[in-house]
């Protein structure tokens, strides 16, 4: 009986030591930055405020993926879709007004300025086209 009590006690101590080691040596997951994407735009701040759709592409001239995003976004230009590039330097007030801290940031907004779809980083042409098709179909 003494051997059993001693074995259980040693087992409990071993579990306690293992738990202490794990809690003291474990590292927390790194904090992940979350970049803000606007949810509402004032359409008067952008070209084509009378059009049903706006594709606003927030970019920077030093950003390589911004160039690809802009090229892809231009394919969405249509009589009912305004497409506008907003550079971080040239259009700084709009970047600040809408809290843009990461580029490329592309938003698809409706006539009321409500952002209906957005992309942080460079979307593929298929992703962007599919998003626009889905939005048009929803109206």
Mean pLDDT to the nearest integer, 19-46: 79
Question: What is the reported pLDDT for 30?
Answer: 66
Give domain status of residue 34, yes or no.
no
Q: Let me know if residue 123 belongs to a domain.
A: yes
Q: What is the DSSP letter of 123?
A: -
Residue 80 within a domain: yes
Mean local confidence (pLDDT), 71-94: 96
**Domain assignment of residue 117, yes or no:** yes
Q: Which domain holds residue 116?
A: 43-137
What is the chain's mean pLDDT, rounded?
A: 89
96 within some domain: yes
Largest CA distance in the chain: 89
Q: How many domains does the chain have?
A: 1
| pTM of the predicted protein model | 0.76
CATH number at residue 85: 3.40.30.10
Whether 36 is in a domain gets the answer: no
């Amino acid at each position: 009986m003494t051997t059993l009590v001693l074995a259980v006690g040693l087992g409990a101590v071993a579990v306690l030591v293992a738990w202490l080691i794990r809690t003291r040596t474990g590292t927390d997951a790194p904090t992940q930055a979350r970049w803000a994407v606007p949810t509402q735009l004032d359409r008067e701040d952008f070209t084509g405020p009378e059009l049903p759709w706006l594709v606003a592409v927030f970019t920077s001239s030093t950003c390589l993926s911004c160039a690809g995003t802009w090229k892809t976004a231009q394919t969405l230009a249509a009589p009912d879709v305004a497409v506008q590039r907003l550079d971080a330097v040239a259009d700084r007030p709009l970047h600040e007004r809408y809290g843009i801290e990461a580029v490329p940031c592309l938003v698809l907004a409706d006539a009321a300025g409500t952002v209906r779809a957005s992309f942080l980083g460079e979307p593929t042409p298929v992703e962007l086209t599919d998003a626009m098709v889905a939005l048009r179909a929803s109206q």
